Structure 1
Amino acid sequence: MIDLVDEHAQELKEILAKLISFPTVSPPARNTEGIQSYIANFLEKKGFDTTRWDVFPQDPNMVAVKKGEESSSYNSLIINGHVDVAEVGDKADWTVPIFELTEKAGFVYGRGVSDMKGAIAATLFAMKLLNEQGISLKGDLQIQTVIGEEAGEAGTLSCLEKGYTADFALVVDGSDRKIHGQGGVITGWITVKSKEVFHDGMRATILQTSEGASAIEKMMKIIASLQDLEQEWAETKQYPGFRKGTTTINPAVIEGGRHAAFVADQCSLWVTVHFYPNESYQSVVAEIENHLRNSIKDDLWFQENPLLFRWGGKSMLEERGEVFPSAEISKDHPAIQMLQQSHQKVEQSKAMIGMSETVTDAGWFHEGGIPTAIYGPGKLKEAHSVDEKIEWDELLRFAKTLMIFITDWCNKRKEG
């Protein structure tokens, strides 16, 4: 069966070239209708029932389902990938066409080949070969191509909110074909806001009486407290696969004050928080809020002007906020073991199990109670890079592994 991958490799190249030709850059986003229509039409011809809905205007999710012959008794599978790609930067820096597939010295080039249209193309290619060979599946197979991953727009969360589920979810984002879990990320806004507004000429009085304060100067105290917590986490928290100190609180953006004739009455800090796979964003947020409130409990001004918090969001573009939940993986889960075996049949060695250096949509499946893993072609150093590339043979090997895994998993009886 997998010998067909090499025999029909040109077809994979044609699919990938088509996907790359859609300039689905995010931001600005709102540009995925064309690629989602192409994918839906492709899969409908392969026997899938497809559904599309707008997560944001002109940015639809696509879910394609092929019902198994004995759905209630055999394993179901979600294969998930995002169709948006990263910004291209200065086009003059590119030496190859950005939205055309280019071949050179065993690699293919173009925005998205590694992150992650290469994996989606290989998935579509695998569906084509399985369909043409009449390979039957007893369990349900579901393909999700989602929007918004590059800008934290939670396309995968929208699938879960629509009720799409399975016994296992495979996120085919780039992992260099290692099996990965991940830590999590949440962004948040911490705001210091005064109930009173003062002319800057009142500063001397404020300093002498402590009857007012600059929100910017009060924020300095908050930033120092966050640094203390970050250091505490570095000393007390750890998780296998991560170096200590990976749990960070990055003060990314600060906004405050009106203009020079005012004492600043408001200051907001935008932070990015990284946490370990065994932590939830809800628990981490609670830790931060409790720590900050405790650190200022003796400050009379803060008693009258309490901190304001806004965490997460479904879009960095619309809400200036995002969440990527963490995802632990179990080496003993039957899908993980089967994925390792599928990889070994192609690579002659078991796939390594570890932790991603970045975050993907896999966390949403873990959050939703669906066992999940990240496994896909492409190296992290190529994601978002100028002259983005991927080794052509890597895509072929991934397609072979995927075909084996799909047929084995969806033809295995459910346990329990």
Structure 2
Amino acid sequence: MRDLQEKINRLAEERQERLIDILRTLVAFETVSPPARNTEEAQSYVKDVLLNLGFETEEWELFPGDRIVAGTKQGERSEEYQSLLLNGHMDVVAVGDEASWKYPPFVITEEEGLLYGRGTSDMKGGMASSLFALELLQELGIKQKGDIFFQSVTGEEAGEAGTKSCVDRGMKADFAIVADTSNLEIHGQGGVITGWITIKSKETYHDGLRSRMIHAGGGINGASAIEKMAKVIEGLQELERHWAITKSYPEFPMGSTTINPSVIEGGRNAAFIADECRLWITVHFYPNETYEEVAKEIEEHILAVAMADPWMKNNPPLFKWGGKSMIEERGEVFPALDVDHTHEALAVLKEQHQTVSKRKAVVSMSSTVTDAGWLGAAGIPAVIYGPGKLDDAHAVDEKVELHQLLEHSKVLAGFIAKWCSTERSNTHDEAEARAIY
């Protein structure tokens, strides 16, 4: 295997211009989200690359103008050998004011070993190095025994869960690598869910009646929904502080379970007492929790707060959690992903990383979230392992180090060659583990 890895390393160095060319092509597609609905050309390119690599492909629309491309390359002995799923997203975040960029955002600029352009770090760099790794194996004539699957999804940046649409179609594998931004560390992640809390009065009152609401003899049992939302926010802060001292998880700083009041909306205009107020919150949770559990905790706590308020007791807060799109529904979910430290594939990946980089592999938890959570939620053992630094992701003059892209390709190609030539254990339940599209 070491001889093969050395061949992979030499070929990667010789062909590095091809890696840059793949990334240059991907970055040139302006797949910004929002507005999204703009990935068809980019996905057609990925499809062509996969077809040239011997993959069978299928595709479907997540939203009009945003397609998912999934590829299957069947191994010579699929029933007996381990399968692998490679996953990445094609959408990138908005550029903002282009005048603030030194380098053009949709053109690759090389300078002192760095490649600049929107998406180079998050995560077209990881997409490019993954495709390049597959090309290296093809050029070396390596034929895998287990199946390889490739998912090029959309919607990750807007919580539109393109990866969820893949698992909803029954796509599975024995192990998955999401090549999202991780600085070549092996990551799991916490989870995120957004929610809307609404306070709504049964009656609507003119501003001129406020004086009759605020003293005992006024005769109107009413309230401003905006003022009552302040109590809800205070209750959320109380729960957040409670979580900070009662919840913990390895590799996360204390207090990583947060409840962020992100957006507040309410009222009609200055001539009315606000009869409705809506609060948009973002909740981070640990891998040993589900979004259903944390949503239930929040609801129970806030309803208890409401029961202690004479008006809210009869006008209790309403809750709406998650959603399939930050653009269409103003809501999203990213399940958490734990890392199975005993999984055979993790040991192989760590070994390949150390062999190529000469550095011990770091296994940790990401401070952000990715589509990897949807794979884990579907029962697919998965990790995040990709090039790029979070400091550079979403930034003006986004960049990635060329040597990281090359290193990722070398590690990934070696890992694929080894993992997809690993026999399944006799005790493995093939009926569940067999990768099927």
Same fold (TM over 0.5): yes
* Aligned residue in 1 for 2:309: 299
Instruction: Output the amino acid matched with 2:174.
Output: D
* Aligned residue in 2 for 1:205: 212
Instruction: Output the amino acid matched with 2:247.
Output: K
Is structure 2 residue 352 aligned with structure 1 residue 345? no
* Aligned residue in 2 for 1:172: 179
Is structure 2 residue 45 aligned with structure 1 residue 38? yes
Runs of 4+ displaced beyond 3 Å: none
What per-residue deviation string (whole Å, max 9, x for no partner) do you get for residues 352-387 of structure 1? 000001111111111111111000000110001111
Is structure 2 residue 330 aligned with structure 1 residue 320? yes
SS in 2 for 1:213: coil
* Aligned residue in 2 for 1:376: 386
* Aligned residue in 1 for 2:122: 115
* Aligned residue in 2 for 1:88: 95
Matches within 5 A, 1:225-374: 225-374=235-384
Return the alpha-carbon distance in structure 2 between the equivalents of residues 399 and 256 of structure 1.
Answer: 50
Match among 23, 29, 50 for residue 57 of structure 2: 50
What per-residue deviation string (whole Å, max 9, x for no partner) do you get for residues 87-112 of structure 1? 11110011112111111011111111
SS in 1 for 2:151: strand
Return the alpha-carbon distance in structure 2 between the equivalents of residues 393 and 217 of structure 1.
Answer: 55
What per-residue deviation string (whole Å, max 9, x for no partner) do you get for residues 104-131 of structure 1? 0111111111111111111111111212
* Aligned residue in 1 for 2:414: 404
Return the alpha-carbon distance in structure 1 between the equivalents of residues 230 and 366 of structure 2.
Answer: 33
Is structure 2 residue 230 aligned with structure 1 residue 220? yes
Q: CA deviation at 1:304?
A: 2.1
Q: 1:211 to 1:318 in 2, by over 3 A?
A: same
Is structure 2 residue 157 aligned with structure 1 residue 150? yes
SS in 1 for 2:198: strand
Q: CA deviation at 1:210?
A: 5.8
Match among 13, 16, 25 for residue 6 of structure 1: 13
What per-residue deviation string (whole Å, max 9, x for no partner) do you get for residues 22-60 of structure 1? 011111111100010000011101100011111001000
Return the alpha-carbon distance in structure 2 between the equivalents of residues 191 and 400 of structure 1.
Answer: 51
Percent of aligned pairs with the same residue? 56
Return the alpha-carbon distance in structure 2 between the equivalents of residues 414 and 13 of structure 1.
Answer: 36
SS in 1 for 2:252: coil
Match among 164, 169, 177 for residue 162 of structure 1: 169
| Aligned partners of 2:37 and 2:64 also within 8 Å | yes
Instruction: Output the amino acid matched with 1:130.
Output: L
Q: Give TM-score, length-normalised by structure 1.
A: 0.98
| Aligned partners of 2:306 and 2:316 also within 8 Å | no
SS in 1 for 2:233: helix
Match among 49, 58, 72 for residue 79 of structure 2: 72
Instruction: Output the amino acid matched with 1:184.
Output: G
Instruction: Output the amino acid matched with 1:361.
Output: D
| Aligned partners of 2:39 and 2:66 also within 8 Å | yes
Return the alpha-carbon distance in structure 1 between the equivalents of residues 277 and 342 of structure 2.
Answer: 48
| Aligned partners of 2:306 and 2:317 also within 8 Å | no
Q: CA deviation at 1:298?
A: 2.9
SS in 2 for 1:157: helix
* Aligned residue in 1 for 2:4: none
Return the alpha-carbon distance in structure 2 between the equivalents of residues 173 and 287 of structure 1.
Answer: 31
Instruction: Output the amino acid matched with 2:140.
Output: Q
What per-residue deviation string (whole Å, max 9, x for no partner) do you get for residues 152-199 of structure 1? 111111111111111111111010100000011111000001111111
Instruction: Output the amino acid matched with 1:25.
Output: V
Instruction: Give unmatched runs, 5+ long, in structure 1.
Output: none
Is structure 2 residue 109 aligned with structure 1 residue 99? no
Count of residues in Structure 1 that have an aligned counterpart in Structure 2 = 416
What per-residue deviation string (whole Å, max 9, x for no partner) do you get for residues 126-157 of structure 1? 11121222211111100101001111111111
SS in 2 for 1:125: helix
Instruction: Output the amino acid matched with 2:316.
Output: P
Return the alpha-carbon distance in structure 1 between the equivalents of residues 380 and 54 of structure 2.
Answer: 25
What per-residue deviation string (whole Å, max 9, x for no partner) do you get for residues 215-261 of structure 1? 11111110110010011011111111111111111101100011111
Q: CA deviation at 1:296?
A: 2.0
Q: Give TM-score, length-normalised by structure 2.
A: 0.93
- Aligned-residue CA RMSD in angstroms? 1.0
